[in-house]
Chains A and B, each alone.
Chain A
Amino acid sequence: DAKTTQPNSMESNEEEPVHLPCNHSTISGTDYIHWYRQLPSQGPEYVIHGLTSNVNNRMASLAIAEDRKSSTLILHRATLRDAAVYYCILRDETSGTYKYIFGTGTRLKVLA
């Protein structure tokens, strides 16, 4: 299973953009890049996913490097409610059985 590497923690000021990096140098051509976040005392929740092109949704944007060996989750204006652990995950879409392999994630602290 391909592995992801993320910084353990990051800080951001409220109302400022946040760029959360993820390295996945062993990614295969069929792996989708997924991001989940886990708020305190809750299970993880889906944020965004992509394959090759950059993606936007109401929660965030995902920028994927041209060689796909890294990606960045972008929160355009951090709020206090965005304080969470963010996980970058690779999911193989062709195996027929799907496994989400989580790493340790990045703990985002948002400062008021």
Chain B
Amino acid sequence: DVKVTQSSRYLVKRTGEKVFLECVQDMDHENMFWYRQDPGLGLRLIYFSYDVKMKEKGDIPEGYSVSREKKERFSLILESASTNQTSMYLCASFEGGSTEAFFGQGTRLTVV
């Protein structure tokens, strides 16, 4: 069974902390994505990566960075967490040229 696993379902962090959200896929997919989901705004693309060490900004990259040192792992980093980064974060992966993207269960991050 294909799987995208996000390291935490729920996370509470303090303002100013450096936060790492981890995503691992076991399908050898090239492409990986990070989204955030907020009520009324749908899913918004933060960053995506189409290969190891490659990354591209999505629509809302400010305040975030990413790391992809290995094909299976794509990390989202909040350099200095702020309360407006409280959100649901979703990771996805898919193979280039295929039709279906696979999503993780999401990480609900609360910054206090």
Contact = CB atoms under 8 A, between A and B. Distances in A.
Contact of B43 (A42, A87, A97, A98): A87
B66 interface: no
A42, A44, A103 pick with most chain B CB within 10 angstroms: A44
Interface residues of A, number: 21
A61 B53 CA distance: 38
Per CB-CB distance, the 8 closest pairs between chain A and chain B, nearest first, are: A43-B103, A102-B43, A104-B42, A46-B100, A97-B50, A44-B103, A102-B42, A43-B90
Given A45-B103, A97-B56, A105 B42 contact: yes
Interface residues of B, number: 27
Contacts, number: 55
Contacts of B92: 43-44, 100
A39 to B, nearest CB: 11
Contacts of A98: 31, 50, 94, 96
B46 to A, nearest CB: 12
